[in-house]
Amino acid sequence: MEQPWETNQTEIDTLEFGLSIIKVKANKIPFGSWAEYQTKISPISEWHSHYLNQGTVGIITGKVSGNLEIIDVDVKNDPTGTIMDELIELIPESLYNRLIVQTTPNKGFHLIYQCPGTVIEGKREPKTGASFRQGSNS
């Protein structure tokens, strides 16, 4: 079975991933303006070949990407090396099993999930010092 990433360029423009994906530099800075893709999904033709050529892409979170949220867990500031284990203990197993857990280049983690039917309110700063952002590329 052919996978979406195995299509030719003319077929690419008709694909829909449901995520607003943009090209970013290795330092997570977008190539050009990305503000319009906070409210509409970016065409796959704008980032697909960049990605296939080992380029870096970012996903714009929030409403535009189906209420996608990403929690960035930075372990570089954790002298005990236990923050991820402690976080996992706080999350019910049934919820944790539905998350996508991604390792970051800095050996941290992204906890990725969608909240269909829920309005995600912009950036929130919890008292724990963690940072939550909507519509950002980090």
pLDDT reading at 111 higher than 90: yes
| Alpha helices, DSSP H, located in the chain | 9-12, 48-52, 83-90, 93-96
How far is 102 from 77, CA to CA, in rounded Å? Answer: 18
User: Which pTM does this prediction carry?
Assistant: 0.70
What percentage of the chain reaches a pLDDT higher than 70? 74
Please say if the pLDDT value at position 129 is more than 50. no
pLDDT higher than threshold 70 for residue 3: no
3-state SS, residue 60: strand
CA distance 51 to 73: 24
89-109 residue pLDDT tens = 999 999 999 999 999 888 899
E runs forming strands in 1-138: 20-24, 56-60, 68-73, 100-103, 109-114
